[in-house]
Amino acid sequence: MEIPGAAPIGICLMTQGRGLCEDHPAAFPEIGALLSERLLGRS
């Protein structure tokens, strides 16, 4: 399965589930950063 590095977070969450995005941040560099910021409560 190919995973675009810049997949929009909405598509990632809807198609692969939050767990995949969190478990494989390297596959989603921008999403990984966004999730990290949101999960850690950074603005």
What's the total number of domains in the chain?
Answer: 1
Whole-number pLDDT of residue 33: 74
Residue 20 included in any domain: yes
Residue range of the domain that includes 32: 15-42
Q: How far apart are CA 36 and CA 21, in angstroms?
A: 10
Residue 22 included in any domain: yes
Whole-number pLDDT of residue 20: 63
Q: How far apart are CA 21 and CA 41, in angstroms?
A: 17
From first to last of its 43 residues, the chain has per-residue pLDDT tens of 455 555 565 665 556 666 665 666 666 667 667 777 777 775 4
Residue 5 included in any domain: no
Whether the predicted model's global pTM rises above the 0.85 cut? no
